[in-house]
Amino acid sequence: MRKTILFSIAALVIFSMLLSACGSSDKPAPAGATEAPAAGQKVTLKVLVHQNPPMVEFIEAFNKKFTEKNPNIAIDLAVVNANDLSTVTQTRLTANDVDVVDIFGFANAAQPYMKNVDPPNWQTLIQAGYLMDISDQAFIKNYDEATIKDAGSYDGKVYAINLGRVSYSGIYYNKDMFTANNVKVPTTWGELVTACETFAAAGTPCMTAGGKDGWPIFVGAYGLTGALYPDQSALVEGLWTGSIKWNDAKALEMWEKMKVYAQTMMEAGASGIAGDAAPGRFASGAVAMFPGGTWYASAIEAAEPTFEWGYIPFPGSDNAEDNKYLFGKYDQGWAVAAKTPNKDAAMLYLTEFSEAANYQAFANAVGFIPTQATATLDTQIGKEVAPYLANFRVGYEQYWVAPKGSGQYANPFASYFKPFGTYDSAQELADKVQADLQSGLDANK
């Protein structure tokens, strides 16, 4: 027994020595070395992205082409779960172990009217000097002005290029089912209600969503909120200053409509459907409509390629003119580590990525609404949203920062209603939501 133990220890020690020998050759480059590599010198560009299969697939193909074109640059692509991206970005930037990072569009900044809120993670990174200022790079001109200004700038300087918008306030609808039941595509709330009643009478559930995951329900109703409060940044300011309350008359209208949405329009059993099962369910023809974001388009097409569907803004208002907006957010983008030793390689990578042809291929592969003015919307979802693009607005979710101390109900979430949550009365819920928010506002006076 003793001999075995001693032997194992010896083997272990040898193992570790071997491993550390292998390990030390891969230590991160010293910080501060910003010299351009001499022509021909091998460089490894470290790129970090979050997991999103069509996007990762595209980037792997792009990296291959890039390496062929620039043989002295090797690319090390690391993929992490979207939930871990923020933490891993933080650790890798601190350790100077990454060159190009995938970063979501800059959102939820602390506004002047917000008291005692913490800056968002991207702002902290910038202020601590971890993201490189790329204001003087040529490739940022490939992107439209709004993108650079709204999703990649801070304090007058540019730190990230954003690669695409997504909309989350629309409804997918089953074209064949609508024609079969002689239902008009709804442009007002009243029409939506009638449409659902018609389907119900015909024995078809009206809507589905991934109720089990929680968020698909309230995200699905973002359009409802948006139709009633078209200027979402003003909404957020109003909530903070007190000029808008979640239980005033207008908000009550919103809650009443959300109740109908959650309890009448959503199919029974939606609370048991997993988020990633919902697109398949819609594509199989089980329901007439599917409120959700533009990102589901590829899943729907993959589930049923011949399926005929359309996408419209969620008609939350009784006035058709109010229902022509699409609300959404800036999704992923690229930023560069300020302390990277491979600045030139990183800039070259971004330049190539931003070239019109490459970018167009990317946007198509991932299904983003493009952020380059020259790009066209070739996908089905692209065609569906095209008429509303001029009215694309950043949504509430990207502006809202809760005051510290506010309760967990301080949000306009349709999922608070039964069967997804615990509330049945719109008035009761409205009062609870406002009370939770007020508690935070009062704590920070």
Partner 1 sequence: MNGYYFGQGRARWSPYLLLIPGILIYFLIAMGPSLATTIYSFTNATGIRGAPIQWVGLDNYREFLFMGQASLDNIAALGRTLVFCFFVTTIQFSLGLLVATLVNQRLKGTNFFRTLFFMPVILGAVIQGLIWSLFLYPLGGPMAKILEFFGTSSEFFGGQPSEAFAWVIAVQIWANMGTTMIIFISGLQTIPSDMYEAAKIDGASSWQVFKNVTWPLLTPSVNTNLLLNIIGSLQAWQLFLVLLGYRNGTQVLGYLIYATGFGQTSGSVTSSFRQGYAAAASIILFLLVLVLGLTAQTLLARREKRILG
Partner 2 sequence: MSTLTTTKSPAIIGGTKHNKVNWAKILSYAVLIIFAIIYAGPLLMLVNTAFKTLPSFMKDAVSITDSLNFKNFVDAWNKANFPRYLTNTLIYTVSATLVYLLTAVFVAFPIARGYVKHANWILTMFVIALFLPPALIPQFQLMLGLGLYNNPVGYIMLFLTNPIGIVILVNYIKSVPKELDEAAALDGCSYFRFVLSVVFPLIQPAIATVAVLHAIGIWNELILPTIYLTSQEYYPITRGMIVFQGVYGSNWPTLAAAVLIMVLPMLLFFLLLQRYIISGLTQGAVKG
Tokens encoding 68:
């062929």
Selected from 231, 248, 256, 276, the binder of partner 2 by CB under 8 A is 276
Tokens encoding 90:
């933080």
Q: What DSSP designation does 369 have?
A: B
69 binds, among partner 1, partner 2, none (CB under 5 to 8 A by kind): none
Selected from 87, 127, 135, 374, the binder of partner 2 by CB under 8 A is 87
Selected from 213, 253, 318, 344, the binder of partner 1 by CB under 8 A is 213
Q: What DSSP designation does 19 have?
A: H
272 binds, among partner 1, partner 2, none (CB under 5 to 8 A by kind): partner 1
Q: Residue 285 or residue 387: which is nearer to partner 1 going by CB?
A: 285
Using CA atoms, how far apart are residues 350 and 342, in angstroms rounded to an integer? 12
401 binds, among partner 1, partner 2, none (CB under 5 to 8 A by kind): partner 1
For the bound state, the minimum distance from the C-beta of residue 107 to partner 1, rounded and expressed in Å, comes to: 5
Q: Residue 25 or residue 182: which is nearer to partner 2 going by CB?
A: 25
Opening angle at CA 288, ends 423 and 388, nearest 5: 90
376 binds, among partner 2, partner 1, none (CB under 5 to 8 A by kind): none
Q: Are strands 392-394 and 326-330 parallel, antiparallel or unpaired?
A: parallel
- Please state the three-class secondary structure of 163-223 as a single string: CCEEECCEEEEEHHHHHHCCCCCCCCHHHHHHHHHHHHHCCCCCECCCHHHCHHHHHHCHH
Per DSSP, the three-state class of 328 is strand
DSSP3 helix / strand / coil % (the chain, rounded to 5): 50, 15, 35
Selected from 92, 165, 259, 343, the binder of partner 2 by CB under 8 A is 92
127 binds, among partner 1, partner 2, none (CB under 5 to 8 A by kind): partner 1
Q: Residue 118 or residue 256: which is nearer to partner 2 going by CB?
A: 118
Using CA atoms, how far apart are residues 51 and 365, in angstroms rounded to an integer? 14
For the bound state, the minimum distance from the C-beta of residue 281 to partner 2, rounded and expressed in Å, comes to: 9
62 binds, among partner 2, partner 1, none (CB under 5 to 8 A by kind): none
Q: Residue 148 or residue 166: which is nearer to partner 2 going by CB?
A: 166
User: Which region among 13-21, 140-148, 379-387, 420-428 touches partner 2 (by CB under 8 A)?
Assistant: 13-21
Given a contact cutoff of 8 angstroms between Cβ atoms, the answer to whether 400 and 237 are in contact is no
DSSP string, 81-115: -GGGHHHHHHHHHHTT--SEEEEEPP--PPPTT--
Q: How many helices (H) and strands (E) does the chain have?
A: 17, 13
Considering only residues 88 to 107 of the shown chain, the ones binding partner 1 according to CB under 8 A are 90, 94, 104, 107
Per DSSP, the three-state class of 153 is strand
**365 is a site residue for partner 2 (CB under 8 A):** no
122 binds, among partner 1, partner 2, none (CB under 5 to 8 A by kind): partner 1
Residue of 91, 58, 95 whose CA lies nearest to 77: 58
Please give the biggest Cα pair distance in the chain: 85
Selected from 61, 202, 274, 356, the binder of partner 2 by CB under 8 A is 274
User: Which region among 73-81, 132-140, 227-235, 338-346 touches partner 2 (by CB under 8 A)?
Assistant: 73-81
Total binding residues toward partner 2, as defined by CB under 8 A = 48
For the bound state, the minimum distance from the C-beta of residue 48 to partner 2, rounded and expressed in Å, comes to: 9
- In the block, which residue shows the tokens 């909120």? 225
Using CA atoms, how far apart are residues 368 and 140, in angstroms rounded to an integer? 18
Using CA atoms, how far apart are residues 211 and 102, in angstroms rounded to an integer? 29
User: Which region among 32-40, 171-179, 291-299, 341-349 touches partner 2 (by CB under 8 A)?
Assistant: 291-299
**52 is a site residue for partner 2 (CB under 8 A):** yes
- In the block, which residue shows the tokens 């730190």? 159
Using CA atoms, how far apart are residues 55 and 58, in angstroms rounded to an integer? 5
Q: Residue 112 or residue 305: which is nearer to partner 2 going by CB?
A: 305
Selected from 98, 183, 420, 430, the binder of partner 1 by CB under 8 A is 420
57 binds, among partner 2, partner 1, none (CB under 5 to 8 A by kind): none
Selected from 23, 129, 242, 387, the binder of partner 2 by CB under 8 A is 23
Using CA atoms, how far apart are residues 163 and 375, in angstroms rounded to an integer? 11
Residue of 424, 93, 23, 389 whose CA lies nearest to 255: 424
**124 is a site residue for partner 2 (CB under 8 A):** no
Using CA atoms, how far apart are residues 328 and 326, in angstroms rounded to an integer? 7
- In the block, which residue shows the tokens 């199919």? 267
Residues in touch with partner 2 (CB under 8 A): 1-2, 5, 8-9, 12, 15-16, 19-20, 22-24, 26-28, 46, 50-53, 76, 78-82, 84, 87-88, 90-92, 94-95, 97-98, 274-277, 279-280, 284, 295-296, 299, 303
Binding residues for partner 1 (CB under 8 A):
83-84, 86-87, 90, 94, 104, 107-108, 117-122, 124-125, 127-130, 211-215, 269, 271-274, 397-398, 400-411, 416, 418-422, 435-436, 439-440, 442-443
